[in-house]
Amino acid sequence: MRTVLGIALVVCLYFAPTLFDRVVLPAAAPYLPGAKMPPPGHEAASAPLGTPPASTGSAAFVLQESPKEGQRLVAYDPCRPVHYVVRPDNALPGGDVLIREAVAAVSQASGLQFVYDGPTTEAPSDDRSAFQPDRYGKRWVPVLIAWSTPAETPGLAGNVAGLGGSGYVEAAGQPLVLEAGQVRLDAPDLAGIIASRPDGAAEVRAIIMHELAHVLGLDHVNDPTQLMYAENMGVRNFAAGDLAGLALLGSGPCVPQL
């Protein structure tokens, strides 16, 4: 196991539109057996399920760059719950609690409603399919949180503690919507943090929060007082800029056509 005491563990994002680039649903498309996308409108409510907190007024946040001209905000649909699953292989003792706490913090900051669907055997992948009906039913796949290793996820090599991000889907004539998010956590490094630091559990929770914020659409900032600073060395909770960005991302468009 690599030593982690006294080094900055970098928390990173991947926002790879090439994974799900332009999964475009034609208007009013019927669902057919063997389709490559779910029937539209699954769990879509007529209004957002939650309310984002009032903005802090801070501008210390950065949204991930939108691949669609004219659409600055690419977010999860607030009129549907954000489902998530956990791949428990390599899990840290107490890691389930840290994930629940991190999800609760992100939900509170964004107003998005998260639903835990339980454990999964799905492994993280750079080419994850956004629609896996045999595994998850006729819906977009849930966010996948996986305790991983550099051997399984080469992007975790070195001092990288985690990776997080989402792809996107699009209905014809509608805004892009984030889907199929993944969080990949470097289990050996994070176990070392918990074993070697008095506040190790809080640090690991903060890393998971950081990665989940990437999943929802936040990018890194240059401000070391924010949790979304890449080489965070002491911030354990979302700061004013993080909160302002997450509140904005919780106010994305509802797209029942997906």
What's the pLDDT score for residue 233? Answer: 79
Strand ranges, E, within the chain:
10-13, 24-25, 82-87, 114-119, 143-148, 160-171, 177-186
From residue 197, how far is each of 5, 70, 200, 203, 234 by CA, in Å?
Answer: 8, 46, 5, 9, 12
Q: At what angle do helices 200-216 and 187-196 cross, to 10 degrees?
A: 140
Question: pLDDT below 70 — which residues of the chain?
Answer: 1-35
* First-last CA distance in the chain: 44
Residue with tokens 């004539």: 173
The confidence score (pLDDT) of residue 159 equals: 87
CATH 3.40.390.10 fits 20-26+47-249, yes or no: yes
For the chain, percent of residues with pLDDT exceeding 90: 72
pTM of the model: 0.89
227-257 pLDDT tens trace: 999 888 789 999 999 999 999 999 999 999 9
Domain residue limits, the chain: 20-26+47-249
Residue 97 neighbours by CB under 8 Å, 6+ apart: none
Q: What is the pLDDT of residue 13?
A: 45
